[in-house]
Amino acid sequence: MKLSQHYTRTSVYISLTVLVIGAVIYYFAISYIGKQQLDRALQQQLTEAEEYIRSNKGDPQQYDLDRDHAVFVKTNAQLPFTRRFFDTTYFNPKEQKREAGRAVEDLVKLGESNYKVVITVSRTDQKHLIELISVITLALLVGLLAVLFVTNKYMLNGLWKPFQLTLNEIKQFNIADVDQFQGKPSKVDEFTELNEAIREMSLRVNHDYLSLKQFTENASHEMMTPLAVVTTKLDTLIQDETLSAAQLGQIADIYSSVNKSSRLNQSLLLLSKLENKMVNEEEVISVEKVIETKIFQFHELLQNKEITIEHTLTPRQIKASKYLVDILLNNLFSNAIRHNVPGGRVLIDLTVNQLSVKNTGTAIALNTQQIFERFQKGKDSQGTGLGLTLVKNICQLYGYSIQYEYEPGWHKFVVTF
């Protein structure tokens, strides 16, 4: 759920609760005040009535002959009498109907006799007032909630816009691009601070990455010179005619190891170049022609293992670096030959959309998850363990996909252009 939704939901709940409780308290408070007012009015009328009776000394009912709001009844009750206010209904002669009223009951002394007096006033006006206030309050409440909802929905989204922009920039962040996080300026301090923090972080990450990259490259380069020294020293050493066969055997092993480390080094360098997209030279290449050349180059190897090669080549041109295409095909072809069985077959199929290299081999499928990882190789493999990683990275560079498929007895690599 989005933050704004969370916020809207919480704020609507809280507002609703507070407003409902407030409305209830408000209602009771107003009712109470209204009653107090009526009671004061009744008290006033009572005092007036008592004064009237005392001065006239006649039938107290003369005060209100039509008995519409004051009723005097002779009673035997004695003083002290507790004055009592209560809600009631009475007949309003003007409106000709019964209405809600508020009444006061008291004892009035006229000469020797006691009269119980009940004075009633209409409560309708007050009820109307409370109703009106309630309706206005309710309308306000609904209005407030609506405004709150709309504000949260639209204004909050607007407020969060800089955040969305920053987020998009982070999503597009590529470690190899130098200083590319800009961060749109925002009026909101928090977002400005966030942008600054991310910018600083990206610069630091870029810097670390660059120095690491530089290190890898320099290390690989620096390694080449000592390797060259070893190679040339060996080349000089073998000129010595007194060396025994055993010593020469040892030297041959050193040659192989030096050779392997220099190949490894070159592959690592190339990988780091690919990962940094530092291979730029592109030209139009006819894949079918390159494949034909490759088949010719590998024919000795094929003959040696008595492997037959079959190919169907549809002309297909791509725009890529010749050097990288060479490496890609070399790796696919030499794998297909190296991991083949004597007397096996290699099928090469080039269509407009894809190139597939299929070879007979062991009856066990390779681990699709791992084969493209660095230094993953079969235990009998003499390679560097970087061949397929190079293949994958070259494919990635040009937006091709590479897939491995296994059919019983057949291993197949498919490059989809």
State the minimum distance, in angstroms, from the CB of residue 224 to another protein: 4
Distance of alpha carbon 402 from alpha carbon 416, whole angstroms:
6
Tally of residues, the chain: 417
Q: In whole angstroms, how close is the CB of 289 to another protein at the nearest point?
A: 17
Q: Is 199 within 8 Å of 178 (Cβ atoms)?
A: no
* Under rule CB under 8 A, residue 256 binds another protein: yes
Burial environment of residue 218 by CB neighbours within 10 A (0 to 12, 13 to 18, 19 or more): exposed
Q: Which of 66, 281, 380, 407 binds another protein (CB under 8 A)?
A: 281
Q: Interface with another protein by CB under 8 A: which range of 6-14, 116-124, 256-264, 407-415? A: 256-264
Angle between helices 124-150 and 3-56 (to 10 degrees): 170
Binding-site residue total for another protein (CB under 8 A)?
Answer: 43
Shortest Å, Cβ 290 to another protein: 12
Stretch that binds another protein, among 86-94, 227-235, 358-366, 407-415 (CB under 8 A): 227-235
> Coil, strand, or helix at residue 225?
helix
The correct pick among 352, 382, 407, 408 for binding another protein (CB under 8 A) is 382
CA 173-178-183 angle, to 5 degrees, is: 55
What type of residue sits at position 319? K
Which part of the chain contacts another protein (CB under 8 A), choosing from 72-80, 123-131, 178-186, 249-257? 249-257
Put the strands of the sheet holding 354-360 in their side by side order.
308-313, 345-350, 354-360, 410-416, 401-407
What is the contact mask toward another protein in residues 285 to 314, using x (rule: CB under 8 A)?
------------xx-xx--x----------
Q: Which stretch binds another protein (CB under 8 A): 55-63, 80-88, 102-110, 266-274?
A: 266-274
Both tokens of 328, joined, read: 């890609």
Nearer to another protein, 143 or 249 (CB): 249
For the segment 310-339, give every residue that binds another protein (CB under 8 A): 323, 330, 334, 338
**Rounded Cα gap, residues 417 and 409, in angstroms:** 26
Pseudo-torsion of CA 327, 330, 335, 340, nearest 10°? 170
CA angle 6, 12, 17 (to 5 degrees): 130
| Least distance between another protein and beta carbon 304 (Å) | 6
Dig out the tokens for 153 from the structure: 């929905």
> Could you say whether residue 231 binds another protein (CB under 8 A)?
yes
* Interacting residues toward another protein by CB under 8 A: 221-222, 224-225, 227-236, 238-239, 245, 248-249, 251-252, 255-256, 258-259, 262-263, 266, 269, 273, 279, 281, 297-298, 300-301, 304, 323, 330, 334, 338, 382-383
